[in-house]
Amino acid sequence: MKPTRRAMLEPYILLLPSILYLAIFFAWPMAQAFGLAFRDDAGRWTLQFFQRMVGDASFWPALSATALLVAVIIPLQFILALAMALLVMARLRGSGALVYIYALPIAVSDLAAGIVWFSVFTERGYLNTILQGLGLLERPFIFLQYGSTWALIAVILAEVWRATSIVFVILLAGLQGIPNEYFEAAEVFGAGWFQRLRRVTLPMLRPSIQVALILRTILAFQVFAVVVALTGDGVKVLASEAYQWYNQWRNLNVAAAYAALILLISLLSTGLYLRALRSRSEAAGA
């Protein structure tokens, strides 16, 4: 009797530390953040902080800039990462080294990446110096000015450089998991390279694509350090607004409202991806 009982409890005991960890460091703070977002000082439930957030002059610019960045960065990264992964899979000479080169930016912190790209794009930065050295520019061009498309392009470039590698790694792992027989069979039936990509590679890669897209989209809605390091107060995004409300304007409630909004958007987009990229067996209810 006794050993069976112990055996029954064992998995839960083993799980306990991680559950405690999650509860103390994730669940509890998250509940507190929601409390801050939805309850006033007297503890009454309220939507006033959301009204304050939406009514704020920076809200719509931040929301639209974030949406724009997600809409541009994610497809770009996906196409680039797929091309990079396919290139590595083509097993050309030196493709082993390519993996390391492509994966390198994963190791760079996003703030460091932002600062590096700032030194490229700033008035006295590398880009202006090179362009002036080549005689293409007479005086420095100011990329990072307020409201300029160039500032957004700089953010997109920096983000694509920084975060494509994670998509690449996930897709490469997925590609390596596809048995070669499928490709051989397709070739036997006369499928060309493009047809094999469309009919074999992409469908087989669907689970990896799903993971990569969910991960990247959630992270893209949280984009922060790169934007702040590159543009200062020039481009506002949701996460930078949350930070500013917390850190500079010292209204913890509105900051929490921003955080809750980011969470909501992330959940919605995850749900969307899960639905849109259901594999056939899942769709059939298997």
Partner 1 sequence: MKRAAVIVSVAASLALMPACAPQTRVVEIEKTVVVEKVVEVAKEVPVTVAPPDFGKVTILSTQANPVEEQEKMRGVVLKDFPGQAEFVGIEEPALLDRVIAEAGAGKGSVDVLIALHGTYPTLQAADALMDLSDLAAELSERGIPQAFMTLGKLNTERQYYIPVMQATYIMAANKAALQYLPAGADIDNLTWEQVRDWGKNIADATGDRKLGFPASDRGLLHRFLQGYLYPSFTGGMVTGFKSGDAEAMWAFATDLWQYVNPQATTYAFMQEQLLSEEVWVAFDHTARLVEAFKQKPDTFVAFPAPKGPRGLGFMPVIVGVAIPKTAPNPEGAKQMIRYLLQDEVQINILREIAFFPVVGVSYPGFVTVGIRMEGEAVSKQAASADALPALLPVGLGAKGGEFNKVYRDTFTRIVLKGEPAATVLAEEGANLQKLLDETGAPCWPPDPPSDGVCKLQ
For position 66 contacting partner 1 by CB under 8 A, the verdict is: no
* Near partner 1 by CB under 8 A: residue from 117, 118, 168, 221: 118
Binding segment toward partner 1, per CB under 8 A, in 54-62, 86-94, 158-166, 184-192: 54-62
For position 144 contacting partner 1 by CB under 8 A, the verdict is: yes
* Near partner 1 by CB under 8 A: residue from 75, 96, 232, 271: 232
Nearest to 219 by CA among 175, 173, 165, 150: 165
- Residue 39: helix, strand or coil by DSSP? strand
Torsions phi, psi of 45, nearest 5?
-75, 135
* Pairwise CA distance, residues 239 & 245, whole Å: 10
Q: Are 94 and 184 in contact (CB under 8 A)?
A: no
Residues in the chain, total: 286
For position 250 contacting partner 1 by CB under 8 A, the verdict is: yes
Between 44 and 91, CB nearer to partner 1: 44
Residue 110, amino acid: D
The DSSP code sequence of 208-228 is HHHHHHHHHHHHHHT--HHHH
Place of tokens 């196409």: 79
Between 69 and 237, CB nearer to partner 1: 237
Between 151 and 205, CB nearer to partner 1: 151
| Cα 246 to Cα 214, 224, 259, distances in angstroms | 27, 14, 10
For position 46 contacting partner 1 by CB under 8 A, the verdict is: no
* Near partner 1 by CB under 8 A: residue from 34, 50, 58, 132: 58
For position 142 contacting partner 1 by CB under 8 A, the verdict is: yes
The three-point CA angle 68-72-76 to 5° equals 165
| DSSP bridge partners of 39 | 45
For position 139 contacting partner 1 by CB under 8 A, the verdict is: yes
Most distant CA pair in the chain: distance in Å?
87
Binding segment toward partner 1, per CB under 8 A, in 168-176, 217-225, 242-250, 257-265: 242-250
The least CB distance from residue 117 to partner 1, in Å, is 12
Between 11 and 55, CB nearer to partner 1: 55
For position 128 contacting partner 1 by CB under 8 A, the verdict is: no
Quick one: CA dihedral 39, 40, 46, 52, positive or negative? Answer: negative
For position 177 contacting partner 1 by CB under 8 A, the verdict is: no
For position 270 contacting partner 1 by CB under 8 A, the verdict is: no
For position 282 contacting partner 1 by CB under 8 A, the verdict is: no
The least CB distance from residue 263 to partner 1, in Å, is 23
Nearest to 109 by CA among 220, 243, 226, 218: 226
The least CB distance from residue 266 to partner 1, in Å, is 24
The least CB distance from residue 236 to partner 1, in Å, is 9
For position 146 contacting partner 1 by CB under 8 A, the verdict is: yes
Six-digit token string for 220: 């893209």
Interacting residue ranges for partner 1, rule: CB under 8 A: 56-58, 118, 122-124, 139, 142, 144-148, 228, 230-234, 240, 244, 248-251
